[in-house]
Structure 1
């Protein structure tokens, strides 16, 4: 019976940590989790358990571990000595939790990594403006028109229209070349 309660408490702790860290449930605090799940455990012991499980979940989630990677990771954790390692029961609870919550945690992390509002669409065209009066020769100035569709998750799009003359188009292209050069420099360093 005590083992079943310990497993339930650990599952609750992992769910609580995930709710706070990955699903932005600010009302879930370390103190709340302690009072609800481990009322008899001294505060410093609970804090150590909480931080260990939070760190392990962060490692598992940031690597988006598949089943094989998870099992290898947890096996290595069970072989660590003392308070640095995890028990077989803790490893089993982590494994069960990750198998059931991987997709939700992954989706949450992807959502947190997106800039909002995001670019949903882009369309453009080049127009030639012409002017002619009283038989004068027509002359044209090309103008680039760019329409950006912007939006936040779950909301309707907003549209922004930009107009560029040839000089502005060249400035934008130069900036984009500079950005690409910076990215290439960083990528080639690593």
Structure 2
């Protein structure tokens, strides 16, 4: 019989009078050990993210990438790690890698406004250095991500600002146009007069 069959023959861990019965201590030890491993892993992952953030904030972008790549390998479903990787890659002008990391962040949490904003920034940076034909497609993606970021969080001022900047500078061919920027500027001013004045 398999190992599962032995589980059905195990005595209850706690007797009716509340005393611990034989064999329960070993199971308790296993649970404690497993919990310790999980806690240690979580701490290691958090330490990796914080180390990467520190490297990024001190402009050591190459180190940030190195640390964050290791953190991503440990925790591939951590969107914040992928976001910081994307930002670090952008500083290093590694645009394709930045897009890939930002896309991973969005895939992990499609409802995160900041992730969409930075995916838009990555597309936009790539568009600025691409051929005219490729730039058109990338610019359209850029605006779509900025717009999505604003829709997900209307208080994301930086996303709204870059959307306004895009509409004011990009031609209608790629979705831009000052007429599109005006409603955004008005709404920004209603939420924050200083931000709205800056956008104007």
Task: Calculate the TM-score normalised by the size of structure 2.
Answer: 0.24
Q: Which has the larger radius of gyration?
A: 1
Greater helix fraction, Structure 1 or Structure 2? 2
Greater strand fraction, Structure 1 or Structure 2? 1
Structure with greater contact order relative to length (CA < 8 Å, sep ≥ 6): 1
